[in-house]
Structures are given as structure tokens and as C-alpha cells.
């Protein structure tokens, strides 16, 4: 059973990345453009709301695509940690008390992606495959000195 699950791991991580990144990008789009049920938009250049929304939209889009996943996830995780500790945590200690569950969940989900990478279905894997193929080809063509 665990052998089957291990073989499916890159696909599960890839689906996890796509879903979490899409939710995060939608959150940023709602804040920036007022779409997807957003009634108010954040004024351009306001700290920290506008910058957080840009990180959410751009970072979430990169994570969905699997392009620069580890870096985008690291920045997104830090943004959510900032959101939790500076916006939610001063109101109460526990996330359930201060409405910080989403910020905490996003923070840890993105932190996990920093270590797992993009998984399957990511653009990162295409670049990794090409670079490893090029390295393998150059190694194969290098003459062996006796």
C-alpha cells in the first residue's frame, strides 16, 4: 500500500499546490480588483494591504503554474506569517479566536511547498528535466581520459 502511495506522492503534491495557489491567487484578485465577491478594493500603494494583495495574486499565480514554486511559496509563507502576527494575533492568542485560521493555514501550506517543491504538473519540472537532460548529454559526450 505504501509503495502505491509513494508513487502517487508527486501527483498529490502537484494537486495540493494547484488548489492552494488558486485559492491564494483568488484572495489577492478579490482584494485588488473587487472580483469574486469582493466589495472593496485596496487602495494602490497602501501598506500592508496593497502589497499583501500583490503578493497573493502574483505568488498564487506562480504557485499554480509551478514556476519558481519554492521561492514564491517562501515569500507567500512569510507574508501570511506577517498577516497572522501583525493583524490577527494582537486580537487574541488562538487562531480560532482572532479569525487567523486562513492566514495560519496558508502560512504552513506554503512552508510545506518550500520543502516539497512543485510536485507533478509544474513548469519547474520541465526546466529541471531539460537541464538534467543537457547535463547528462554533455557528460555522455565527454571523452574519458585514461
What is the pLDDT, as a whole number, of residue 126?
Answer: 80
Contacts of 40 by beta carbon, 8 Å cutoff, 6+ apart? 34
Residue 107 placed within a domain: yes
Instruction: Please write the tens of the pLDDT for every residue from 94-119.
Output: 999 999 999 999 999 999 999 999 98
Instruction: Please write the tens of the pLDDT for every residue from 111-143.
Output: 999 999 998 888 988 877 666 666 555 555 555
What is the pLDDT, as a whole number, of residue 39?
Answer: 75
Q: Is pLDDT at 73 greater than 70 in this prediction?
A: yes
Under DSSP, is residue 105 helix (H, G, I), strand (E, B) or coil?
helix
What is the pLDDT, as a whole number, of residue 36?
Answer: 79
Phi/psi-derived region of residue 108, left when phi > 0, alpha when psi is between -120 and 50, beta in every other case: alpha
Residue 109 placed within a domain: yes
Residue 146 placed within a domain: no
pLDDT range class, residue 49, cuts 50, 70, 90? confident
Q: What is the DSSP letter of 45?
A: T
Residue 104 placed within a domain: yes
Residue 87 placed within a domain: yes
- Can you give the pTM of this predicted structure? 0.81
Residue 85 placed within a domain: yes
**Total number of domains constituting the chain:** 1
Residue 39 placed within a domain: yes
What is the pLDDT, as a whole number, of residue 93?
Answer: 87
Range(s) of the domain holding residue 19: 2-141
Amino acid at each position: 500500500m505504501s509503495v502505491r502511495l509513494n508513487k502517487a506522492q508527486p501527483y498529490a503534491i502537484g494537486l495540493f499546490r494547484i488548489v492552494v495557489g488558486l485559492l491564494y491567487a483568488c484572495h489577492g484578485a478579490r482584494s485588488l480588483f473587487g472580483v469574486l465577491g469582493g466589495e472593496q478594493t485596496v487602495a494602490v500603494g497602501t501598506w500592508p494591504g496593497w502589497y499583501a494583495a500583490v503578493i497573493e495574486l502574483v505568488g498564487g499565480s506562480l504557485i499554480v503554474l509551478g514556476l519558481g514554486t519554492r521561492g514564491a511559496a517562501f515569500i507567500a509563507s512569510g507574508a501570511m506569517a506577517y498577516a497572522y502576527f501583525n493583524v490577527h494575533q494582537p486580537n487574541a492568542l488562538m487562531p480560532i479566536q482572532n479569525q487567523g485560521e486562513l492566514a495560519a493555514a496558508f502560512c504552513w501550506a506554503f512552508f510545506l511547498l518550500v520543502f516539497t517543491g512543485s510536485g507533478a504538473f509544474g513548469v519547474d519540472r520541465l526546466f529541471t528535466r531539460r537541464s538534467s537532460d543537457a547535463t547528462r548529454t554533455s557528460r555522455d559526450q565527454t571523452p574519458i581520459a585514461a
